[in-house]
Amino acid sequence: MLYAIGTKVRLRFTGERGTITGILEDGMLMVRLENDPDFEIPTFEEDLSRDEAAEPVSAGAKFIMGKPEPKQEAPPARRIQSQYKILKPKGLQLAFEPMPGRDGTVSRYKVWLLNDTQEEFLMEFDLYTNSRDILVVDDKILANTALELGDFLSDDLNDAPEAFLRVRRITTAGLDEPLEHTLRIKPKQFFNSLLTAPILNVLAYQYVMLDSFTPQSTSSTEDLREYAKQQPRKRVAPVQNARPYKAFDPEALANFDPEIDLHIQHLINGYARLDKGEILRIQLQHAQRFVEKAARLGAPRVFLIHGVGEGKLKDALAAQLKDNPYVAKFKNEYHHKYGYGATEVIF
């Protein structure tokens, strides 16, 4: 390939554009980056490609003869097959193997599809961003095999990349119904997924794409729906006096704190000698008195803070609230202040 001072080039691994400003020894060239004109970097000739979209070099430019670049077909995708049966397979997984450069920084990843099961599949894979298709692969993946899909640049993480996988399991009876999954790759989740990849035995960023390959039957679901339609619904008799109290003291209601922390250290002193059963009984007593006071004052709702531990206190509270005639409903849903650690009681 011919290079000259003034030639417009691209860096193969980062996609950055630049201009050759000098010819160095040992097959290296000095390149001024287009996005930072004050910054020049030495680059190996094989790490560059001519920027075909740029303007041609002027006739007075000084050319040098580079290494010829033979035109050949892309090599077949690598397949690495494990000689051992994996005892706890995870299914079809997408793995991004970091490929450090000469300076140790990672600007690209080798993309693999891992199949640690005993099944074989026909697969369609597409990796794309908002602006371009990165990889499109149609192939067959064997059991206990890692299939190389191609390269993924780290810069593409900032362009909302998505991966689509569609497979059909190969069985003795033919091909199963297709299964598919779309993965949205977010940078924060990406860098938190570094694990040792099965079959490859290298560190890679991994995602499970499909972990179940048995076609789902809808007959049982339809039978249950039909059964439910045929069963008469029971009418529940209204609970006597099931109405909220009216506020008799507006000032007391205004000063009422609509939440109670039921962690034992916030309720009593000297709890270290109590066993779990005694602690639970005290927590339920405080919760009941608090709910009754709130209903008596006419509070519209309160929050019982129980935390997100083993769930025993939450379940005991639910059983207690279910039988309280002054409680219209209660729920344990995500709350911006308490997360899942509180039950909301509505009167």
Domains in the chain: boundaries = 2-65, 79-210, 250-346
Give the rounded percent of residues in the chain with a pLDDT score beyond 90.
34
pLDDT average, residue stretch 262-274 = 86
Alpha helices, DSSP H, located in the chain: 187-191, 219-230, 250-254, 276-297, 312-322
Lowest mean pLDDT among 36-40, 152-156, 267-271: 36-40
Q: What is the model's pLDDT at position 93?
A: 95
Residues in CB range of 215: below 8 A, 6 or more apart: 176, 177
Whether CATH 2.60.40.1600 fits 79-210: yes
Q: What is the model's pLDDT at position 236?
A: 47
**How many residues does the structure list for the chain?**
347
pLDDT average, residue stretch 1-19 = 79
Q: 334 pLDDT exceeds 90? A: no
Find out whether 165 and 112 touch, Cβ atoms under 8 Å.
no
Q: What is the model's pLDDT at position 65?
A: 53
CATH topology of domain 250-346: Ribosomal Protein S8; Chain: A, domain 1 (3.30.1370)
CA distance 320 to 315: 9
Q: What is the model's pLDDT at position 94?
A: 96
Angle CA(340)–CA(341)–CA(345) in degrees, nearest 5?
90
pLDDT average, residue stretch 59-73 = 52
Q: 16 pLDDT exceeds 60? A: yes
CA distance 163 to 295: 53
Look at the alpha carbons of 105, 107, 108, 109 in this order and tell me if their dihedral is positive or negative: positive
Q: What is the model's pLDDT at position 253?
A: 81
Angle, to 10 degrees, between the axis of helix 312-322 and the axis of helix 276-297?
A: 40
Find out whether 279 and 264 touch, Cβ atoms under 8 Å.
yes
Q: What is the model's pLDDT at position 88?
A: 83
Lowest mean pLDDT among 44-48, 52-56, 129-133, 196-200: 52-56
Where residue 330 falls among pLDDT bands split at 50, 70, 90? very high
Q: What is the mean pLDDT of the chain?
A: 81
pLDDT higher for 36 or 128?
A: 128
Where residue 243 falls among pLDDT bands split at 50, 70, 90? very low
Q: 61 pLDDT exceeds 60? A: no
Whether CATH 2.30.30.140 fits 2-65: yes
pLDDT average, residue stretch 293-317 = 90
pLDDT higher for 243 or 23?
A: 23
Q: 242 pLDDT exceeds 50? A: no
Q: What is the model's pLDDT at position 216?
A: 53
Q: What is the model's pLDDT at position 142?
A: 92
CA distance 11 to 29: 12
3-class DSSP assignment, residue 120:
strand
pLDDT higher for 261 or 78?
A: 261
Where residue 245 falls among pLDDT bands split at 50, 70, 90? very low
pLDDT higher for 19 or 226?
A: 19
Q: What is the pLDDT of residues 226-237, one digit of tens each?
A: 666 665 555 545
Backbone angles phi, psi at 195, to 5 degrees: -140, 165
CA distance 63 to 60: 9
Lowest mean pLDDT among 43-57, 114-128, 165-179, 277-291: 43-57
Q: What is the model's pLDDT at position 14?
A: 76
Q: What is the pLDDT of residues 73-111, one digit of tens each?
A: 555 667 776 666 677 889 999 999 999 888 888 899 999
pLDDT higher for 289 or 41?
A: 289
Where residue 244 falls among pLDDT bands split at 50, 70, 90? very low
